[in-house]
Amino acid sequence: MHSFPAPAMAMVETMRESASSDPARAIAYQGAPGANSHRAAMEACPECLPLPCFSFADALDAVKIGDAGCAIIPIENSQHGRVADIHFLLPESGLYIVGEYFMPIHHALMALGDGPFKVAYSHPQALGQSRNFLRERGIVPLSHADTAGAAAYVAELGDPDVASISPPVAAELYGLKIIENNVEDSPDNMTRFVILAREPVDPASLKGEDAITTFVFEVKNIPAALYKAMGGFATNGVNMTKLESYQKGASFSATTFYADIIGAPGDPAVDRALEELAFHSKELRILGTYRQARKRG
At 243, is the secondary structure helix, strand, or coil? strand
Characterize the bridge pairing of strands 177-181 and 108-111: antiparallel
Q: What are phi and psi of 226, to 5 degrees?
A: -65, -40
At 281, is the secondary structure helix, strand, or coil? strand
Q: How far is CA 146 from CA 60, 143, 188, in A?
A: 16, 8, 21
Residue 50 region by backbone torsions, left for phi larger than 0, else alpha for psi between -120 and 50, else beta: beta
Cα(49)–Cα(35) distance, integer angstroms = 15
Q: Please name the residues in contact with 63: beta carbons below 8 A apart, sequence gap of 6 or more.
A: 28, 69, 70, 71, 93, 95, 196, 197, 198
CB atoms under 10 Å from CB of 184, counted, come to: 24
Active-site positions read 191, 193
CB atoms under 10 Å from CB of 151, counted, come to: 36
Residue 138 region by backbone torsions, left for phi larger than 0, else alpha for psi between -120 and 50, else beta: left
Cα(25)–Cα(193) distance, integer angstroms = 18
Q: Please name the residues in contact with 159: beta carbons below 8 A apart, sequence gap of 6 or more.
A: 112
